[in-house]
Amino acid sequence: MAAMRPNDLTTVLKDAPIGEWIALSYARDRIVAHAPTLRGAIEAAKMLGEAQPIMMKLPPFGMLVL
């Protein structure tokens, strides 16, 4: 099995809303939708035509993430 390479999402996430669920395009090149809840972000992404969004939660500002 081939090793997975990490994706640098710095540019994509630079203006993302802090503390919200983010729906990225399947290509991981843009934010499709965001919402305070996972369900809300998934529904918004699907309404905008993204069938397989990549979901992630941005931590609140100042939260330590290891």
pLDDT at 56 over 90: yes
Beta strands in the chain (DSSP E): 21-24, 31-35, 54-57
pLDDT at 63: 65
| Residue 41: CB atoms within 10 Å | 23
Whole-structure pTM value: 0.80
Q: Which residues pair with 21 in a beta bridge?
A: 35, 57
The per-residue pLDDT of the chain, averaged, comes to 88
- Determine contact, residues 25/50, Cβ cutoff 8 Å: yes
| Residue 23: CB atoms within 10 Å | 26
Provide the token pair at 50.
């993204």
Mean pLDDT of 21-29: 94
